[in-house]
Amino acid sequence: MGSMLKFKEFLSEAYDIIPKSQVEIDDIVHLSDDQKEKLKSLYASITQQTGMVDPFALSGSKKERGIKVARAVAIDLDLPKLSNEYGFKLSAGNGSRGGRGNKSKGFAFENQIVSDLEKYKESGLDGDFKFPDMIKDMHDSFLKDARFIEVSLEGGANTKRPLVFGDVKAVIGGRDLKIGSKVTDVTVTTDQGEQYLSAKFGNTVTFFNAGVARIFTPDQFESGKITNSDGRKLLDMFGIDEQRFIETFTKYDPKTSKRSGKKDIVNPRANKKALQRLLITGIGYGYWMVHRKGKKVEFYEMTASRMKKASTIKSIRILYPKTGEAKRIDIEVVTPLYIFKFNIRNKQGGLYPSHIMCDYKPNPSSK
């Protein structure tokens, strides 16, 4: 057994970091890349065995380096064995669940934006701000020549934007591209109109998350043929090989899951026009991006021209798992501004895919 992994400083003293996906584990900024990968493997193992989407909690204390596994599922797990296998100290415990711990870090950031804007309304640029550079950017961009009326917190009430199929293959939430009012987390009202702020937290953020269980039904996998027209459109858009897609799920073997972790990386013959349309409708324009990364906040306007640049595809790669080792397909799409990472998998611990998910991060070459 290797040495027990050491957690660095987290955000607080309680066991209040409770990831609900592997994407959220990527957003834990104080973990090394190696720690994140091992923690994601542990997460996959426990969720596969229990079906629980948030099975453990991490501590924010410098002294406490363990992980609390929810008591509801810990009783059915061999915690010492998992500790040895993944290098984390596991014990039974619920952590700060049920609203007792910190709220979502993303939601906390939205509140910080509102707080700073309220201080700006009272004191202008002389306020004591949490993010003074962000407020200065907002002042220069849309506040200095307008009368500030109010700021409102919208996060959590955003309009749902599902994956929609039609004559344009697939789009997110419809064909309307001016989507500020649909994606706003914080809305600033001035005498010159409303300004919509989309708040993001962490290096990697969610792009979209859509259900696909109705188009990838079990009977299609069992028959060896994807017959649903929307399912075929989705595979065609990415250039996913139908048989390899089917066998990824039908030949999955829990005994060999994550055995090698090797991927067969393929540059597919994708339908770039359809995929670009998906990205365009997902990104949209007509809002300001407010993206916190650690102590730094990036602030910029998502204009129509930036939307088009962000969705111009440079490369596509499909990462097929080794047969039997994983029940998911991953796709990487690179544009001049972002790197999008899609995955098609089951989120409820089942076998056949229930969702297509995507997160993104800035493309380092765009700097």
* CB-side neighbour CA atoms (13 Å) of 74: 16
The CA distance from 55 to 40, in Å, is 12
What's the mean per-residue pLDDT of the chain?
84
Confidence of residue 243 (pLDDT cuts 50, 70, 90): very high
Q: For residues 364 and 296, give the distance between their C-alpha atoms in angstroms, rounded to a whole number.
A: 16
**Neighbouring C-beta atoms of residue 328, cutoff 10 Å:** 17
Amino acid identity at 310: A
The predicted pLDDT at position 301 comes to: 97
As a whole number, mean pLDDT of residues 282-287 equals 93
Q: Is the pLDDT reported for residue 101 higher than 50?
A: no
Which residues are CB-contacts of 72 (< 8 A; sequence separation ≥ 6)? 52
* Residue 166 pLDDT greater than 70, yes or no: no
Answer whether residue 102 shows pLDDT above 60: no
- CA-CA distance, 325 to 26, in Å (whole number)? 21
Q: Which residues contact 296 (CB under 8 A, 6 or more apart)?
A: none
Task: Name the more confident of 37 and 194.
Answer: 194
Q: pLDDT tens across 17-66, in order? A: 888 888 888 777 667 778 888 899 999 888 887 777 788 888 655 455 68
**Could you tell me if 157 and 265 are in contact, meaning their C-beta atoms sit under 8 angstroms apart?**
no
Average pLDDT over residues 188-214: 88
Two tokens at 356? 């297509």
Mean pLDDT calculated for residue range 335-350: 90
Give CA–CA dist 197/218, Å, rounded.
41
Taken in order 202, 208, 214, 215, the sign of the CA dihedral is negative
Least confident interval from 95-99, 199-203, 296-300? 95-99
Give the pLDDT mean for 326-330.
92
Region 1-21: what's the mean pLDDT? 54
Instruction: Indicate whether 104 pLDDT > 60.
Output: no
**Nearest-angstrom CA–CA distance, 258 and 238:** 24
From edge to edge, which strands make up the β-sheet containing 338-345? Answer: 205-211, 355-362, 338-345, 328-334, 315-321, 263-266
**Among the listed residues 89, 11, 8, the one whose alpha carbon sits nearest the alpha carbon of residue 295:** 11
Distance CA 286, CA 22 (A): 30
Residue 32's pLDDT is what? 75
What's the average model confidence in pLDDT over 77-92? Answer: 88
Dump pLDDT digits (tens) for 289-319.
999 887 789 999 999 999 999 999 999 999 9
- What confidence score (pLDDT) does residue 157 get? 52
Instruction: Please give the pLDDT value at position 139.
Output: 97
Burial class (CB in 10 A: 0-12, 13-18, 19+), 62: exposed
**What's the pLDDT at 211?**
87
Separation between Cα atoms, residue 192 and residue 129, nearest integer Å: 24
Size of the chain, expressed as the number of residues it contains:
367
What distance in Å separates the CA atoms of residue 129 and residue 120, rounded to the nearest whole number?
Answer: 8
- Average pLDDT, integer, range 9-15: 45
Residue whose token pair is 């749902």: 160
Report the alpha-carbon distance of residue 42 to residue 16 in Å, rounded. Answer: 18
Tokens describing residue 238: 């990415």
Across 265-285, average pLDDT: 92
Rg of the chain taking only CA atoms, in angstroms: 22
Average pLDDT of the segment spanning 322-329: 89
Pick from 104, 102, 106, 135: which is nearest to 121 by CA? 135
pLDDT of residue 174: 64
Beta bridge partners of 361: 339
